């Protein structure tokens, strides 16, 4: 029997594999060219009515962050006559921390950001963030990463920084190839238009179904100078984040290490962005980046200043998170759900989110119906430990149920009058322990259906 030449066979198989690999890469490239040629032209979208829950006074005046410059432009990613791409340039030495969605169908840009943060590339050359709205570049196969590479590479070349320090986000329709050629065409103009006072335009450019741009700020007195914090966010629907939020970018001039920055960010996510829900749906593209330029005259953050800084950071995060809830699609009421007396932190969270996500509770709120029985239902299905005779439920300061029954002092007239407020509190004491949790949600109206039925048109 002839002896088999395994080495020769292996070489032939390897050659065949490389040929097939080359063919597949060519097909992917051809598909990308085809996508670019056939992507729908940008559409004109009707103006939105601003949410009745929007903060009074419009977009706040945010303090300039030394070492951070912003620009926004119309690229026509999906719609015409609106800015839809924003760019941020960050000074050399900027520390960056981030948290992201835990969705198993994460967008290419999220995976790319996570990989780049894990690299811990030197910050000497600075950094940049580029964000587009109108297309999430999620579930777009190999083309998704190619689009990310093209856009971040274009920014890197325009600003003279390594591509490993260029972070990107995309938000919008899932499953449609990103027309990244439109973004590449405006990167030069974006780079030329970078300014320290254009953060408001950046906030507008990242909006999708949002009805108002979202911003928040704080200052902290450090040793030798003032530390500033400014943040912007987008989010209106598909809001029930898991470890992150919609899209949020927070900037500070504090001198702080990347590790300390990451610890502070991670510690404060659960009580802010993970404590809001509009529709119980977690986005494929949720991302939060926290950037510290180190340009403040104040000494490095440590000791009592570190505690004050973290408190201020938490305040900015909570402000932005609640603004997202205020802008929930079709929302007319903001609801704070307060759970106390739970047997464990997990039980407190389960009960709070069950109430906040319940369509029956949310539609009752929309109809200004004091139907506390739906709160009882939500607690019962939550998985949290509960005992009927120890529960008490209140709307605002009005106790509606206690000791396993409707409260003796219950007044339908008073409770119905309370339900007409724009901002409501639903409080539940489980009567079993000391754990507590507060989350925020909004009502569910026909407006939510209208917005989402028309989303891709």
Q: Answer for the pair 254, 309: CB distance below 8 angstroms, yes or no.
A: yes
275 with 239: CB under 8 angstroms?
A: no
User: Going by DSSP bridges, is the β-strand pair 334-342/423-429 parallel, antiparallel, or unpaired?
Assistant: parallel
Tell me the pairing of strands 423-429 and 392-395.
antiparallel
Residue 194, CA distances (Å) to 150, 191, 316, 341 in order? 20, 6, 24, 51
Residues paired with residue 334 on neighbouring β-strands, in sequence order: 423, 442
Q: How far apart are the C-alpha atoms of 193 and 144, rounded to whole Å?
A: 27
Q: Nearest Cα to 409, choosing from 398, 417, 395?
A: 398
User: Which of these, 313, 316, 296, 228, lies nearest to 91 by C-alpha position?
Assistant: 296
Instruction: Give the integer Cα–Cα distance in Å for 231 and 251.
Output: 6
Of the residues 152, 171, 245, 441, only one is catalytic, namely 245
Residue 169 bridge partners (DSSP)? 131
Contact (Cβ atoms closer than 8 angstroms) between residue 81 and residue 88: no
Cα–Cα distance measured from residue 332 to residue 52, given in angstroms and rounded to the nearest whole number: 6
Could you give the CA distance from residue 117 to residue 124 in angstroms, rounded to a whole number?
A: 15
Q: How buried is 364 (Cβ within 10 angstroms: 0-12 exposed, 13-18 middle, 19+ buried)?
A: buried
**Measured distance CA(285)–CA(106) in Å, rounded:** 6
The torsion angles phi and psi of 92, rounded to 5 degrees, stand at -55, 140
Query: If you write DSSP's letter for every residue of 147-191 in order, what string do you get?
Result: HHHHHHHHHHHHHT--GGGEEEEEEEESSS---HHHHHTTHHHHH
Residue 245 annotated among the catalytic residues of the structure: yes
User: Residues with catalytic annotation?
Assistant: 245
């Amino acid at each position: 029997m002839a002896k088999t030449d395994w080495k020769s066979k292996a070489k032939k198989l390897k050659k065949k594999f490389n040929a097939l690999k080359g063919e597949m890469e060519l097909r992917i490239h051809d598909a990308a060219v085809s996508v670019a040629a056939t992507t729908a032209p940008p559409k004109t979208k009707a103006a939105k009515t601003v949410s009745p829950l929007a903060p009074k006074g419009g977009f706040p005046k945010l303090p300039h962050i030394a070492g951070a410059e912003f620009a926004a432009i119309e690229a026509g990613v999906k719609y015409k006559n609106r800015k839809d791409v924003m760019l941020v340039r960050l000074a050399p030495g900027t520390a960056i921390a981030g948290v992201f969605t835990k969705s198993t169908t994460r967008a290419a840009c999220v995976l790319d950001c996570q990989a780049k943060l894990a690299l811990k590339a030197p910050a000497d050359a600075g950094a940049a963030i580029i964000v587009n709205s109108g297309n999430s570049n999620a579930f777009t196969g190999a083309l998704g990463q190619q689009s990310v590479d093209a856009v971040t590479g274009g920014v890197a070349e325009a600003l003279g920084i390594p591509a490993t320090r260029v972070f990107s986000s995309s938000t919008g329709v899932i499953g449609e190839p990103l027309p990244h050629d439109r973004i590449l065409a405006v990167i030069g103009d974006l780079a030329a238009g970078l300014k320290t006072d254009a953060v408001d335009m950046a906030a507008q450019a990242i909006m999708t179904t949002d009805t108002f741009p979202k911003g928040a700020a704080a200052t902290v007195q450090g040793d030798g100078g003032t530390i500033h914090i400014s943040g912007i966010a987008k989010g209106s629907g598909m809001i029930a984040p898991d470890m992150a939020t919609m899209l949020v970018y927070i900037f500070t001039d504090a001198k702080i290490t990347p590790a300390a920055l990451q610890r502070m960010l991670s510690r404060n996510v659960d009580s802010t962005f993970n404590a809001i829900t509009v529709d119980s749906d977690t986005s494929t593209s949720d991302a939060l980046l926290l950037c510290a330029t180190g340009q403040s005259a104040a000494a490095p953050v440590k000791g009592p200043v570190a505690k004050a800084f973290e408190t201020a950071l938490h305040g900015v995060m909570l402000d932005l998170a609640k603004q997202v809830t205020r802008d929930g699609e079709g929302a007319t009421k903001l609801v704070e759900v307060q759970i106390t007396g739970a047997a464990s932190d997990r039980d407190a969270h389960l009960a709070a989110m069950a109430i906040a996500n319940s369509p029956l509770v949310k539609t009752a709120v929309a109809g200004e119906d004091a139907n506390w029985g739906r709160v009882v239902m939500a607690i019962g299905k939550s998985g949290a430990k509960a005992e009927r005779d120890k529960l008490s439920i209140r709307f605002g300061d009005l106790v509606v149920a206690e000791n396993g029954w409707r409260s003796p002092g219950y007044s339908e007239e008073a409770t119905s009058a309370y339900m007409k407020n724009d901002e409501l509190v639903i409080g539940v004491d489980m009567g079993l322990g000391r754990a507590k949790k507060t989350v925020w949600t909004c009502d569910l109206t026909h407006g939510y259906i209208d917005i989402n039925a028309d989303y891709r048109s």
